[in-house]
A and B are shown apart, each in its own frame.
Chain A
Amino acid sequence: MADFGLWWRKFQGNAMFAYFRLVTRTARWQFEGRENVQLARASGRPLIWAMWHGQLMPFMHYGDRFENAGSFAIITVGDDRSDILGTFAERLGAASTHPVDMNSSSMAGGRAVLRVIAALKDGQQTFLAPDGPDGPPFVPKAGISFLARKAKAAVLPVGVWTRQAVQLRRWDRYLVAFPFARMVAVFGAPIFAERRSDDQTLRDQIAAAMTRVRYRAQQLAGESPWP
C-alpha cells in the first residue's frame, strides 16, 4: 500500500458510515418545535443548523433520515481528520465538503470559508458545532456568527438527545447512539442574522439558544444535563 495512513483513515470513514447508517435506519424519533424548521425555510434564507459538538452524531442521524443529504455543504476540520470525515461525508452524499484549517489564520482557511458562504448563497445548507473541533466546550468561536452574518443566514438551534447511547469520555462528551435508539430532537426558534448584527451579541444569542434546546431534548429523553 502506497500510503497506508490514508488508506486507514478512509477505512475509518467507511466503517463509521456503516455503523452510522445502521443507527439511522433503526432509530425512532420524537420531535418538538418542528414548526421552527418550516419557519426558517419559509424565510428563504440559507439555513445553518447549530448544535454543540457533542450532539453532532445524533443530529446527523436526523439529517440523514429527514433532510436531503444532497443539499448539505459540510464543514470539516482541515487536518488529518478531514480524510476520515471527508470519506464519511462523501458516503452520506453531501453536496460539497469544505475542510477548513481552523487553527491558522492562513489565506487557504479564509478561502475555504468563502467557498462555504458561496455554497450557502447558492441554496445549500450547512450545520456547525461552534465549540468544535477541539473545545473548550460550550464556548462558541467566531466562525458561526461570521458565517451567519456574511450569508445572511437563518441559524436554527438544534438539540438532539437519546438515552440509548454512550457518552465518550472526552471534552465534548460526544454522544454515540446505539441502534434502535429512541431519539429526541428539539428545534429552537430560528435566529436571523443581518450583515450589520453585532457579532458578540449574535454569538451569545446562538449559544444560549443551543444550550436551551439541548437541555430541553435531554429533559424529554429523561436525562439531566450534568453529567
Chain B
Amino acid sequence: MAPLHYTLAGNGLHLLATITRATGRYQVEGVDHLLAAKAEGPLVLTAWHGMTMMLAGFFINHYEDPGQLLLILPDDWHGEVLTVWIKKMGAQPFPMPLTGEGGMSAARQLARLVRLLREGNDAYITPDGPAGPGYQVKPGVVYLAKKTGAAILPLGAYTRTAYRVNRWDQYAAPYPFSRISLVIGPPVLAEEETAVVSQRIQTALHQVTAQAAANYYEKR
C-alpha cells in the first residue's frame, strides 16, 4: 500500500488525465502505422518525456484492453506515484531500476519485461526519462527492441494550450478542451548497431513532434 500522499498525487494525475481525455479533441495522423506494426508483432512505443500527458488519453481510448500496455517507470518514489495513476487507468506499471545500480534484480526485471513483450504486450518508454538530459535517446529502448524483435514506434504530440512545467522536459499538462495533435511515425526497426538505431529514433522523434506541431497549425 502506497503512502497516503503518493495515493493523492497519483489520483491527482489520474483526474488530470481523465479530464484531458474526456474534453480534449484529438487529431491523429498515422494510426495505420500503429495498426500495421501491431499486426507484425510487439511494439515499443516511445515519445519524449514531456508529451506523456497528451498521449495518455489517446492510448486509453485506443487500446481495447489497456492491460496490454506496459509503462516503464523508475522504481523510486516517482514510480510509486505513477503506479497509482497507471493502475487507475487500467494499464500495467512496470517499475525498473533505472539508475544502473540494480544488479541482479535489474537483470531479472529486464528478463521479465522481455518475456512479457514476447507474449504480445506492448511497452511505452520515454527514452529521455526519467530525469533527462532532455531530448536524447538513451540505449535502453534499442536494447529492449533488439532482445524482443519489437518495432519501435515514435509518437509526437503537440498542443498550444497547455501548462508547461519549467524543467528539463517542459512537461505539458493540457488545459481542458484542448485540441491535441498526435502523430504516429513509421516504425523504426532495431536491426543495426545500437548507436545508429538510437540516432534514428532521435531523428524520428523530432520529426513526429515537429509534424504534430505542423498539423496543429495547418490542418484543423
Residues in chain A within 8 A of chain B (CB atoms): 135-139, 169-173, 204, 207-208, 211, 215, 224-227
Residue of A nearest to B209 (CB): A226
Q: Is B28 positioned at the interface, with any CB of A under 8 Å from its CB?
A: no
Residue of A nearest to B207 (CB): A138
What class of interface size applies to chain B in its complex with A? 20 to 34
Q: Is B15 positioned at the interface, with any CB of A under 8 Å from its CB?
A: no
Contact A226 B213 (CB under 8 A): yes
Within 8 A of A (CB), among B147-165: 158, 160, 164
Contact A139 B207 (CB under 8 A): yes
Using Cβ atoms and an 8 Å threshold, which residues of chain A touch B206? 138, 211, 225
By Cβ-Cβ distance, the 7 closest A-B pairs, closest first, are: A171-B214, A137-B210, A224-B170, A138-B210, A138-B207, A169-B217, A137-B214
Q: Is B26 positioned at the interface, with any CB of A under 8 Å from its CB?
A: no
Using Cβ atoms and an 8 Å threshold, which residues of chain B touch A215? 135
- CA distance in complex: A204, B198 (Å): 13
- CA distance in complex: A32, B30 (Å): 37
- CA distance in complex: A135, B160 (Å): 20
Using Cβ atoms and an 8 Å threshold, which residues of chain A touch B164? 227
- CA distance in complex: A135, B212 (Å): 12
Q: Is B203 positioned at the interface, with any CB of A under 8 Å from its CB?
A: yes
Q: Are A173 and B213 CB-contacts (below 8 A) given A138-B206, A226-B48?
A: yes
Using Cβ atoms and an 8 Å threshold, which residues of chain A touch B51? 226
Contact A135 B214 (CB under 8 A): yes
Contact A227 B213 (CB under 8 A): yes
Using Cβ atoms and an 8 Å threshold, which residues of chain B touch A173? 210, 213
Q: Are A208 and B170 CB-contacts (below 8 A) given A169-B217, A172-B214, A215-B135?
A: no
Within 8 A of A (CB), among B21-56: 48, 50-51
Within 8 A of A (CB), among B101-152: 134-135
- The contact sample of 7 A-B pairs, CB cut-off 8 A, is A136-B211, A138-B210, A170-B214, A170-B218, A211-B206, A226-B50, A227-B158
Using Cβ atoms and an 8 Å threshold, which residues of chain A touch B207? 136-139
- CA distance in complex: A172, B215 (Å): 10
